[in-house]
Structure 1
Amino acid sequence: MISKTTIDNVFETARVEEVIGDFVQLKKSGSNMKGLSPFTDERSPSFMVSPVKQIWKDFSSGKGGNVVAFLMEHEHFTYPEAIKYLAKKYNIEVEETQQSDEQKEQANERESMYLVSEYANEFFQKRMHETDEGQAIGLSYFKERGFTPETIKKFDLGYSPDDWEVFTKTALDDGYKLEYLEKTGLTIVKENKRFDRFKGRVMFPIHSMSGRVLGFGGRILSNTKKAAKYLNSPESDIYHKSKVLYGIYYAKQAIAKEDNCYLVEGYTDVIQFHQSGIENTVSSSGTALTPEQIRLINRLTKNITVLFDGDAAGTRASLRGIDLILEQGMNVKVCPFPEGEDPDSFARANSEDELREFLQENSYDFITYKASLLMDEAKNDPVKKAGLIRDMVNSISKIPDNIQREVYLQECSRIMDINEDVLYASLAQIENKDPKSSAQPKKRSMEVVKEKETQKTKVDQLYELERKIISLLVLYGKQDGEFHDILLKQNEQGEMVYESEVQEAKVFEKIFLDLQEDEIEFTNEDFKELFFLLIEKLNSEDEFGVEMIINELKESQAVKLTDILMEEEQYELHDWERHDIPVKKKEQGISQYVTQTILSLRRYLVGRKINELVEAMKDADSDEENRTEMIQEIMSYTSLSTILSDRLGRVM
């Protein structure tokens, strides 16, 4: 268990904008910061961070909360893991009681796999640095590649001994279970035999964006033809190679700062670039680029520069994956290296300044580069040229932005010496092959608009009114107000007239007493619990701040509260007032707003009661006396509803 002192210290020290900024590129937006959602595939920012309130809200997925909630959502941390991550980031000492053997056994499967991977990472490093075999084979290999001791340490590079089960045996002796050694792929189990997967290889640990070890890549150093040169960890609950980029943990801040990401092919390319000072570099680890990997970069920057080897095969292989990047609406450049060179060898042979100069001078816009390259290949062959033009237009069709597509079509027309109309016709032909697209786009767009109009979201009026009450308590609970209650009284002449009665109270006192008086209970369980928690805190604490309770809430409650706190950052739903849901206007005082909200809730509940009675009367038997009583009750409630509407109109 982590001590309360440590947890309090973490919450006091951690800054939500700094922590989230490690994972999402945030830009200033008034007093807040915004960026692309890390939880959904979007192109327009709907992810908001409030440095003042120390909370975040993702309007596209509905998620929200404090800094710990973000780490639990994004990195799938448990609560203790998130606290430890923040403590490490801010150099806070973690005080915790010793875990018992029973508690260790209760650790969930994913956490057990992470622990095994971390253990393996330390094992491989120690074996390389502290054994003769490791130094002679593993360490000497990395030094021959030109890696400095600082670089080797930074990337946790290691060595797996050339022995069939030394790692597995050591891990078992240290108390780690064979079940998790097998599930992470570190140990292969066949017919009661077990042996190390990465026997005799130099090791490259693969980290998540938060720095956790997910898996490994191992390169064999012997010349045996039967073994693969590179071997990766198999897919597991913690390692999905299609969703991971090698080096992203070390590159994320540089990518956001430089607003560009260099994409290379191999582990050593990444490491050599980092050592040369080009830290905004990642690799797809030898696998074909996937949409998930591209979206990982898209959270940090809209710009990718793909670096590839100078040979023709390397160029063609790199070009194939770029259409996927275009589909994500990103800006793509390409940078080919000279014949016989790759990013690793070129970075080793040149200084940082020379490398930066080369990248700047030889990075070309992808569409322009591909068009020129294909035309060189086609030369004077008209059939080949026609095929290459179709290939080119197919790439342009992936771009979601219409203006960008048009610019590229014009540029291709110039480079390829072909009429623009032909390219536009070819583009239309490609788009209409999609069964989802229509031959009559104008008619289709009208149908879509009609669909949207008929599928307007129905507003849950009671939910919104209860939410307004919680909002009032959170935002204005401690404020003093002068409340003008409009009461219906009998004057001296026996006539019913409205009189104003002034009451001074704090907002939370007024709300609590009015709801108690009417015996109104919340129907939403989260709001019900929040209401009593807020009333308790507002009543007992001299100074009230939302940070006092948000760390105590259940996830569903934290999301609702964050949504309320960030409400002003999202667009207001249209036509609230048509649904009798009050919206606070700038010129409106808080006392007036509170009274208006409570009256609206009362009127809604009375209206619902009338509807229930009407439905009950339809189902009731034909007993005349019973029907008469129900009619009288309906009339009484209708009269009350009229009075509430009148009072509400006077308040407004």
Structure 2
Amino acid sequence: MISKATIDTVFETARVEEVIGDFVNLKRAGSNFKGLSPFSEERSPSFMVSPAKGIWKDFSSGKGGNSIAFLMEHEKFTYPEAIRYLAKKYNIEIEETEQTDEEKANTDIRESMYLVSEFAKTYFHTTLLNSEEGKAIGYSYFKERGFTNETITKFSLGYSPEAWDAFTKEALGKGYKLEFLESTGLTIPRDDRPFDRFKGRVMFPIQSMSGRVLGFGGRILTNDKKAAKYLNSPESDIYHKSKVLYGIFQAKQSIAKLNNCYLVEGYTDVIQFNQSGIENVVASSGTALTPDQIRLINRLTKNVTVLFDGDAAGLRASIRGIDLILEEGMNVKVCSFPDGEDPDSFAKKSSYEDLVAYLENNAKDFIQFKASLLMNEAKNDPIRKADLIRDMVVSISKIPDRIQREIYIQECSRIMDISEQVLQSTLAQIVQKETIEVGKKLKQNDSAGQQVFEVVKNENILGIEKVDILYRLERKIIEILLLYGNKEEEFEDTYLKTNEDGEIETFTEKKIYKVFQRIYLSLQEDEVELANPLFRDIFKDLIAFYNEQENFSLEQYLMRLQTDFAQEVTDILMEDERVVLHDWQGQNIFPKSKTETIAQNVSETILTMRWYLVGRIIEELKNSILSESNSDNTESMAMIMDYNMLVHSFSKKLGRVMSRYY
């Protein structure tokens, strides 16, 4: 179990923008940072990071929290895993305390799978470097590919022995359970004797963006025609091949820094490029490119350069993935290598300077690439040329930005020597056809859809008619406590006093309070407890924390924040960041700073809550009179008059005309 001292050090050291910056391409927006949501599909940034508050908020999905919450949400870490990840990132030594049997029993299944996978990575790598078989077969193979020791270590390359159960026996001997060896796909179950899936193969660990081992790719080195040349881990709770890119862990920082990602097909393509000095490269690992893989890149950059082998047949098959990239609103370039070359072989024989120069000089816009690739096939055949042009317009139709579509139509017109008007007409037909197809799918569930629509419509009407004023006021109180609770402000207190003539007069006196004290005393004076259970618990927790800490630190409070409070507190704290996100000041709209009128903000909120609560009492008294029309309601009428006088005083203090809040 990780000690509290280690956890405190991690929280104090970790910077939220640095942690999230490893996964999302962040751009400065005033004192904050913004980027594309890593939790939903979007093309306009709705993800905000506040270094000053140490938190983040994703307005598209509603998620938010601190660095730990991000890692738990994005990487599916457990709390201890997130702490360990940050400790490793910031070179913090972890102090451990002994786990109880109950804690050991509660170890998460997914965490156990990750632990098994990490052990396997270490085992295969050690076997490659230290065993006679590993050095003679695996190490020799990687050396033949031209990989240095540094590269082998960087990618944790390994070797699985030829024996049927060498790895399984070793893992079981180290205390790892067979069920997790099987669920990760490392071991294939068999009643009499479980055996290794990857026996006799060189191993390529497949890691997540944070570096966790998700699965493996294994290449056989013998000429066994019955065995697959490459074998991947099967799908599991931690490995989904359609959502993973090989090399993303090693490439993420370079991709964000250079604002471009090279996309290749194989493991060795990635490794050879890295060794040549080009690190911003990832691979789809031989699978067809998927939207999830593209979105991984989209979090880091909008620019993709797809690298293809020189094989023409392979080129035609591969360009299908370009449309998927365009659909995500990304910029695509394409670069192919000379016939007979692939990224691996070309990088191996080229210096860094020559490789960079080749990529820069041969990377083409996707329109130019498609035209040059397919025009040779069309030659003088008008029908095939027409099909090619239509294929290019289909690709252009995938681009969400209308200005970009217009530019590409112009470019296509120039390259293919055809009028823009014809291309625009074809584009309109394609878009219309897609719209009709979407409409047909919606009509398939027409009756169900109508029911859903009616429900939503009615709920919206109710929402417009009745706003939960008390919820808003209580939320406002929590916001003020979080942002300004420890600030000292001057407040006006109003007292009743009898003068020399025996008349009752009101007089005011100015006093200095801390904001949290003023709010607490005001609610105590009125014997008011927050109605919303979550706000009530957060209120009590905040007041207790303020009383315990002489110098309140928002970062310290967020560090110890209970999980069930975290989402609501983050929502409240990041509400103001919508101003930054939408760039109101850039549109000459300047919201007033809350720090200018903290005391006024507190007083208005408390008075408005009093007004609202008194108003409810008045309504209850009126309803009581109506329901008991035959009773003596003199006392109730007098109370209503007294409460109305109180409401009048609230209105006078607030400087508002009396109105209803519900």
Q: What TM-score do you get using the length of structure 1 for normalisation?
A: 0.91
CA drift at 1:122: 1.3
CA drift at 1:366: 0.9
CA drift at 1:587: 9.0
CA drift at 1:550: 1.0
What's the secondary structure of 1:225's corresponding residue?
coil
Aligned to 2:238: 238
Larger displacement relative to structure 2 (166-175 or 101-110)? 101-110
Q: Is the 8 A contact 2:110 2:238 kept in 1?
A: yes
Aligned to 1:578: none
Verify: 1:649 aligned to 2:650, yes or no. Answer: no
Q: Is the 8 A contact 2:214 2:238 kept in 1?
A: yes
Verify: 1:290 aligned to 2:290, yes or no. Answer: yes
Aligned to 2:536: 528
Counterpart Cα distance in 2 of 1:435 and 1:498: 72
Q: Is the 8 A contact 1:25 1:300 kept in 2?
A: yes
Judging changes above 3 Å, is the alpha-carbon distance between structure 1 residues 148 and 141 closer, same or farther for their aligned structure 2 residues?
Answer: same
Larger displacement relative to structure 2 (110-119 or 43-52)? 43-52
Matches within 5 A, 1:154-303: 154-303=154-303
Larger displacement relative to structure 2 (95-104 or 548-557)? 95-104
Q: Aligned letter for 1:571?
A: V
Q: Is the 8 A contact 1:57 1:563 kept in 2?
A: yes
Q: Aligned letter for 2:260?
A: N
Larger displacement relative to structure 2 (96-105 or 319-328)? 96-105
Judging changes above 3 Å, is the alpha-carbon distance between structure 1 residues 95 and 572 closer, same or farther for their aligned structure 2 residues?
Answer: closer
Judging changes above 3 Å, is the alpha-carbon distance between structure 1 residues 608 and 379 closer, same or farther for their aligned structure 2 residues?
Answer: farther
Judging changes above 3 Å, is the alpha-carbon distance between structure 1 residues 435 and 454 closer, same or farther for their aligned structure 2 residues?
Answer: farther
Judging changes above 3 Å, is the alpha-carbon distance between structure 1 residues 490 and 395 closer, same or farther for their aligned structure 2 residues?
Answer: farther
Aligned to 1:444: none
Counterpart Cα distance in 1 of 2:437 and 2:56: 36
What's the secondary structure of 1:380's corresponding residue?
coil
Counterpart Cα distance in 2 of 1:52 and 1:65: 13
Aligned to 1:351: 351
Cα RMSD for the two superposed structures: 2.9
Judging changes above 3 Å, is the alpha-carbon distance between structure 1 residues 519 and 589 closer, same or farther for their aligned structure 2 residues?
Answer: same
Q: Aligned letter for 1:166?
A: A
CA drift at 1:490: 8.3
Verify: 1:331 aligned to 2:339, yes or no. Answer: no
Q: Is the 8 A contact 1:372 1:415 kept in 2?
A: no
Unpaired runs of 5+ residues, structure 1, are 440-450, 575-582
Q: Is the 8 A contact 2:34 2:581 kept in 1?
A: no
Aligned to 2:572: 564
Match of 1:594 among 581, 602, 617: 602
Q: Is the 8 A contact 1:307 1:336 kept in 2?
A: yes
Q: Aligned letter for 1:480?
A: E
Deviations 1:29-79, CA, capped at 9 Å, x for gaps: 111121111112111112222222222222222222222121111111111
Aligned to 1:23: 23
Q: Is the 8 A contact 2:651 2:657 kept in 1?
A: no
Aligned to 2:521: 513
Verify: 1:52 aligned to 2:58, yes or no. Answer: no
Judging changes above 3 Å, is the alpha-carbon distance between structure 1 residues 629 and 130 closer, same or farther for their aligned structure 2 residues?
Answer: same
Q: Is the 8 A contact 1:473 1:534 kept in 2?
A: yes
CA drift at 1:591: 1.7
Q: Aligned letter for 1:503?
A: K
Q: Aligned letter for 2:6?
A: T
Judging changes above 3 Å, is the alpha-carbon distance between structure 1 residues 551 and 649 closer, same or farther for their aligned structure 2 residues?
Answer: same
CA drift at 1:85: 0.9
Aligned to 1:318: 318
Count of residues in Structure 1 that have an aligned counterpart in Structure 2: 632
Deviations 1:111-146, CA, capped at 9 Å, x for gaps: 110011111111111222222111111111111111
What's the secondary structure of 1:279's corresponding residue?
coil
Aligned to 1:475: 483
Q: Aligned letter for 2:183?
A: K
Counterpart Cα distance in 2 of 1:371 and 1:474: 59
Counterpart Cα distance in 1 of 2:100 and 2:299: 40
Q: Aligned letter for 1:504?
A: I
Counterpart Cα distance in 2 of 1:80 and 1:651: 55
Aligned to 1:603: 611
What's the secondary structure of 1:99's corresponding residue?
coil
CA drift at 1:428: 1.3
Unpaired runs of 5+ residues, structure 2, are 441-456, 583-590
Q: Aligned letter for 1:8?
A: D
What's the secondary structure of 1:170's corresponding residue?
helix
CA drift at 1:635: 5.2
Deviations 1:341-383, CA, capped at 9 Å, x for gaps: 0000000010111000000000011122213333332122111
CA drift at 1:456: 10
Match of 1:466 among 474, 481, 491: 474
Aligned to 2:92: 92
Q: Is the 8 A contact 1:375 1:416 kept in 2?
A: no
CA drift at 1:270: 0.3
Q: Aligned letter for 1:349?
A: K
Counterpart Cα distance in 1 of 2:657 and 2:479: 20
Matches within 5 A, 1:311-460: 311-433=311-433, 434-435=435-436, 458=464, 459-460=467-468
Counterpart Cα distance in 2 of 1:390 and 1:453: 46
Q: Aligned letter for 1:647?
A: K
Judging changes above 3 Å, is the alpha-carbon distance between structure 1 residues 500 and 127 closer, same or farther for their aligned structure 2 residues?
Answer: same
CA drift at 1:492: 8.3
Verify: 1:134 aligned to 2:134, yes or no. Answer: yes
Aligned to 2:307: 307
Q: Aligned letter for 1:229?
A: K
Q: Aligned letter for 1:596?
A: E
Counterpart Cα distance in 1 of 2:629 and 2:294: 71
Q: Aligned letter for 2:436?
A: P
CA drift at 1:567: 2.8
Deviations 1:60-103, CA, capped at 9 Å, x for gaps: 22222222121111111111111111111111110012335654
Counterpart Cα distance in 1 of 2:328 and 2:624: 55
Judging changes above 3 Å, is the alpha-carbon distance between structure 1 residues 610 and 431 closer, same or farther for their aligned structure 2 residues?
Answer: farther
CA drift at 1:436: 6.7
What's the secondary structure of 2:347's corresponding residue?
helix
Counterpart Cα distance in 1 of 2:579 and 2:438: 30
Q: Is the 8 A contact 1:205 1:215 kept in 2?
A: yes
Q: What TM-score do you get using the length of structure 2 for normalisation?
A: 0.89
Larger displacement relative to structure 2 (547-556 or 243-252)? 547-556
Identity %: 66
Judging changes above 3 Å, is the alpha-carbon distance between structure 1 residues 253 and 651 closer, same or farther for their aligned structure 2 residues?
Answer: farther
Aligned to 2:113: 113
Aligned to 1:79: 79
Deviations 1:173-209, CA, capped at 9 Å, x for gaps: 2211111111101111144542111111110000011
Larger displacement relative to structure 2 (418-427 or 196-205)? 418-427
